Chain A
Amino acid sequence: MTAALRVVAPGLLTTVQDRGRIGHQSLGVPVSGAMDLVAFEAANAIVGNPPGTEAFEVAYQGPTFAVETGSLRVAYVGGEAPIEWVARSGETRRLPPLQSIRLAAGDLLRIGALSGSAIGYLAIEGGIDVPPFLGSRATLTRGGIGGYRGRALAAGDLVSLRRAEAPVRDEVRLASLDLSTPKRFRVVMGPQADYFTPEAIATLLSATYTITPATDRMGMRLDGAKLQHDPALGFDIVSDGIAPGTIQVPGNGLPIILLADRQTTGGYPKIATVISADLPALGRLRPGGHVAFEKVSVEEAQALYRVMMREMGRLADRLEPVPPEVRIDLDQLYSRNLVSGVVDAQR
């Protein structure tokens, strides 16, 4: 029998995610997958998983899990949150992020409210035992597919893991991880920038927008200066493909940035596209936050993407043993504030 986690409290939106459902967009199947690829892969690296292994994505308010059977190794990376480990003995400890920890049957793991980044990942050594659908375990709640029964976790769920036991060994950590967000998100103009007035383009590249509460894994709706479509062309185009980070502008002139659960095609003009190197940071933002944009060339964007991917590929090499003092007294460490916040407000 494999290890299993009982969901004591589900958190606000805890889903299983991986790198997404690639290769089925021509059937109309959205890609989905982790909103913050950097935090996701860091969590996987810390527990020794290959890149892309499915993990729990938590948003805003973390879940509480009880270890029902077996033992497991986990790591949390993402928005700063109080993480409590309540051992079977009743002893409670605060755990730092960016570090692996072994849990055993009877233990409780509680992730509190996230601050800074809206998103975090709890990676499990070996992965989560949910059936793949079209080659991916990513949850698309809108379509009821992937993940745990096609939905976010709910209280009482029993989630099986892929392994029965986590071997006892020295735990590891990442000394640091940059999860900051840029002052300006970089965009490649187009594919339909010509559907907008020159003033609208200038506005997009100078104004600051506010993220509205009507924001989810599908799209980030922005409020702020309206972007005027060229009156001769209008705002209704014949549907065409949608890329990750697409900024589409419907008739009301307010931009929507399309994220992980984006639809595959759409019929509003797309003024610009956030570059893939900035998408993980975009995924960290929460309603009430601000975004501004600056233009780069596609060549610059691809160079930045390659830098990000190479850095992600080196995460495993940056792991270090957990120093003895961290093992001995986490609470004291916290109180001395040696483990600083993982998310800075601005880069």
Chain B
Amino acid sequence: MTSAADAGPATPPASGPCFLEAGDTALIVEFGRKIDRHASALVLDLAARLEAARIAGIVEMVPTFRSLMVHYDPMRLTAGELKAAIAPLLQGLEANERAGRKWLLPACYDPSLGLDLLEVAERTKLSVEEVVRIHSATVFHIYMLGFLPGFPYMGDLPPALHLPRRQSPRVRVPQGAVSIAMSMSCIYVLESPGGWHVLSNTPALLWDPRRENAGLLAAGDKVQFEPISLSEYQTLRARAESGEWVPEAQAAGASA
């Protein structure tokens, strides 16, 4: 039990984040209802504060685009106690995106791997070179991981490349496919069905259950893609599959 046991339910300021009950073992702290870089940064700052506060009874936390889900154990913490413990940490949250690492990930934009590259160029009325340049010049922010183990939702894609999802999703999107839809880019870390437009493929195995740290990416990290040739891609993919090559991140604070 926390020291806040008798504080009762707490409500954050009306204009600020709000608490939403998600059953009796999870609580959502919601900062907004839209995809918003500022809200995302506040979510991640709260997650870091809660991590540091080591509140007994919090089982795990899941940051999303606009909210933090806190899974907890009602044997150790009631809903009221949890809210009372979180409320003071909502004061003075900072949105400076300082925590994330930066990943420079090689990606091959050859049309044999960038399955939708030509179609995206046509639909956005850009040249293929411009599509590649815009996508690979963007420093993406990982809002959250979900859908598949280690699958990053990254923003924000420059408006010139905004397209709705494909009308008919692919049954199999290849592992490593770097894709876009709406204001987001993503990486299919495992082969799966998917409806996003595939621009390129990264040889990096971002989710590899053979590794102790199976998933490399984390919410709050920054990602930029570095175009490579098909032969470089093949070499790196072979080295990744044999376990010889794993991409490394630049240290925290190196974000653009």
Contact = CB atoms under 8 A, between A and B. Distances in A.
A240 B23 contact: no
Contacts, number: 140
A240 B59 contact: no
B21 A238 contact: no
Given A25-B62, A241-B69, A301 B24 contact: yes
Interface stretch (A122-130, A198-206, A273-281, A333-341): A273-281
A26 B65 contact: no
Q: Is the interface of B mostly helix, strand, loop or mixed?
A: loop
A13 to B, nearest CB: 21
Nearest to A277: B24
A240 B209 contact: no
A221 to B, nearest CB: 18
B162 interface: no
A241 B64 CA distance: 7
18 contacts: A26-B62, A28-B146, A28-B150, A28-B151, A143-B190, A190-B21, A238-B64, A239-B144, A241-B28, A243-B23, A264-B146, A265-B144, A265-B146, A265-B147, A276-B24, A276-B74, A277-B24, A301-B23
B195 interface: no
A28 B148 contact: yes
Interface stretch (B89-97, B125-133, B214-222, B224-232): B214-222
B209 A238 contact: no
Given A191-B28, A238-B35, A309 B22 contact: no
Closest 9 CB pairs of A and B: A241-B69, A273-B23, A301-B24, A265-B146, A243-B26, A191-B20, A243-B22, A302-B74, A28-B145
A28 B149 contact: yes
B237 interface: no
Contacts of A273: 21-24, 26
Given A239-B65, A241-B69, A301-B23, A22 B60 contact: yes
A29 B23 contact: no
A270 interface: yes
Nearest to A190: B21
Interface in A12-55: 22-29
A240 B35 contact: no
Contacts of A266: 146
A243 B67 CA distance: 13
Contact of A26 (B30, B75, B214, B219): B219
Q: Is the interface of A mostly helix, strand, loop or mixed?
A: mixed
A299 B79 contact: yes
Nearest to A192: B20
B214 to A, nearest CB: 7
A244 B60 CA distance: 13
Interface in B145-180: 145-151, 153
Contacts of B21: 188-191, 273, 298
Nearest to B64: A240
Contact of B215 (A28, A244, A299): A28
Interface string A300-326: 011001100100000000000000000
A92 B61 CA distance: 51
Contacts of B69: 240-243
A241 B62 contact: yes
Nearest to A275: B24
B90 to A, nearest CB: 17
A263 B35 CA distance: 20
Contacts of A345: none
B66 interface: yes
Given A25-B62, A302-B78, A238 B34 contact: yes
A26 B23 contact: no
B10 to A, nearest CB: 14
A134 interface: yes
B38 interface: no
A145 interface: yes
A301 to B, nearest CB: 4
A244 B61 CA distance: 14
Contacts of B20: 190-192
Interface in B63-99: 63-69, 71, 74-75, 78-80
B149 A27 contact: yes
Contacts of B28: 191, 240-241
A275 B23 contact: yes
A240 B24 contact: no
B147 A263 contact: yes
Interface in A120-158: 133-134, 143, 145
A143 B33 contact: no
B124 interface: no
Interface string B41-73: 000000000000000000111111111110100
Given A27-B150, A133-B209, A243-B71, A298 B62 contact: no
B138 interface: no
B167 to A, nearest CB: 16
Contacts of A192: 20
Nearest to A150: B209
A191 B33 CA distance: 12
A273 B20 CA distance: 12
B25 interface: yes
A25 B66 contact: no
A48 to B, nearest CB: 23
